[in-house]
Structure 1
Amino acid sequence: MKTYDFAMVKILVPVSYLSVLCVSQDFDFFYFVQQWPGDTKKKSCCYPKSGKPAADFGVHGLWPNFNNGSYPSDCDPNNPYDQSQILDLIGCMEEEWPTFSCPSNNGTKFWAHEWNKHGTCSKSVLDQHDYFQATLNLKKKVDLLQALQTAGIEPNGTFYKLDNIGEAIKNGIGYTPGITCNGDASGHSQLHEIYFCVDTCGSNFIECSLFPNGRCSSEVEFPSF
């Protein structure tokens, strides 16, 4: 009679199930996006009610995307943002996921937008709490500011070659970044957002097959904050 090692079955089944779950979604990957707050000085902005954030990259969002460059959005209006589900995360979100919209606010509108537009499209993998927790976990894995400063790239208004910024981030983080820029009052490129690609579980960084249009010049200002 054939016998089975049930201890092994208990380990393998969940892992196999999760592996299938991650590749069977209605999107192909996530963009994990962080933004530098310094360029907001050139625009209308307000600090959050919790005070001026640290001079560091903050989370913008975790966005499901397709390999053809399009993306799903507003996938489930019947599952709106509910802050009561993430009360244990609010303190960390205020630090890592600040808002600069006016009038000064506590971030609820920003976080609600991210869940309603993007998070609901990943709900088959990540419920609301898991979505925000996964995003915060990704933030802990990458220290963009340290990677840039290690390469001598400082947020002090200096202009740096775009290629050098990308190389510094890849050397420090291990993955090729997408970089987007805003224009300052003089029309110069300012460092704005950094994109990484993440698997459909929302847990592991992967190399990107495509990036958004960065709108960056060959030299980019890294503004102070």
Structure 2
Amino acid sequence: MDMALLSTIAVLLVSAFSSGAKAANKYDYFQFVQQWPATFCHHNPDCVRNPPRNTFTIHGLWPSNDTTPEKPCVGTPFSPAEMFAAENHGLKDYFLPQAWPQLIARFTNMQFWRTEYNKHGTCSENKLKQTEYFRTAHWAWVRFNAYILFANSQIHPGGDYHKADLEQAIRAVTTMDPLLMCKKIKAMGSDTWLLEEVIICLDVLGGQPVPCRPRLSTCTDPTIYYGY
């Protein structure tokens, strides 16, 4: 193989590596996505037998981009061995099962965490390695659990609420507007919007709330049902 061809291959490899490294770090903020288990299980027949109550659980911590569409993440795949390391015993066996449980009965927590990390977490690898990523997600859940933020404003499961009041309950703590997602169902012949997800946007290290990029809410009615 001549030197000119070797040189070309080397340039292509360097270019590919550089492109991948940039892709892994190209995000402007996180979407911290919490799901309400009661709504998830309402329309999912494969839900776990006893879903968590009195708490929102984590759906994901998603690196997101202000200016360009998100691309497939480039980074090191999820490592079960790292999750089983002695220093992560509490994270794997206690903290994440509470905060980030699998709600689909046929899959395990570890499978859920692997899927979310490979799809989303690797995008933030240049700032947060795997363990840091999951610890950051858990800490966000501790600080910004939507169930607690709603309860602080006397909003409890079991009734209809104005969308604006739900948003204000989150904004009272984060100072930023959340994104609310709903599941529309038919109830007694009319449409009802069930609160499904609350999205709070965080900075690139997952520490502080920041404005979300505008995104169409699926809660298109001013009244939302938040219940069991």
User: What is the TM-score with the length of structure 2 in the denominator?
Assistant: 0.78
CA separation in 2, counterparts of 1:107 and 1:180?
23
Contact 1:35 1:194 in 2 (8 A): yes
Which residues of structure 2 form unaligned runs of 5+?
1-23
Cα distance in 2, alignment partners of residues 185 and 99 from structure 1 = 27
Aligned match for 1:93, one of 92, 96, 119: 96
CA distance in 1, matches of 2:69, 2:177: 20
- Tell me what 2:185 maps to: 184
After TM superposition, give the deviation of residue 55 of structure 1 in Å. Answer: 2.3
**Inter-partner Cα distance in structure 2 for 1:65 and 1:175:** 17
Which residue in 2 is equivalent to 1:21?
none
Whole-angstrom CA distance in 1 between matches of 2:80 and 2:214? 31
Compared with structure 1, are the counterparts of its residues 92 and 169 closer, same or farther at alpha carbon in structure 2 (3 Å cutoff)?
A: same
- The one-letter amino acid paired with 2:78 is Y
Listed as ranges, the matches of 1:67-86 within 5 Å are 67-68=66-67, 70-76=69-75, 79-86=76-83
Identity across aligned pairs (percent)? 25
Correspondence for 1:29: 29
Greater helix share, structure number: 2
Instruction: Kindly state the Cα deviation for residue 97 of structure 1 after the two structures are TM-superposed.
Output: 0.3
RMSD, matched Cα:
2.0
In the other structure, the counterpart of 2:139 is 137
Secondary structure of 1:206 counterpart: coil
Structure 1 residue 198: deviation in Å?
1.2
Q: Distance in 1 between matches of 2:29 and 2:80?
A: 26
**Inter-CA distance 117–164: structure 2 relative to 1 (3 Å threshold):** same
Q: What corresponds to 1:63 in structure 2? A: 62
Distance in structure 1 (CA, Å) of the matches to 2:98 and 2:112: 14
What CA distance in whole angstroms lies between the structure 1 residues aligned with 2:65 and 2:173? 27
- Residue 69 of structure 1 deviates from its aligned partner by 6.4
- Alignment partner of 1:219 out of 205, 218, 223: 223
**Structure 1 spans left out of the alignment, 5+ residues:** 1-23
| Contact preservation (8 Å) 1:75, 1:117 | no
**2:70 aligns to what SS in structure 1?**
coil
Alpha-carbon deviation of 1:107? 1.2
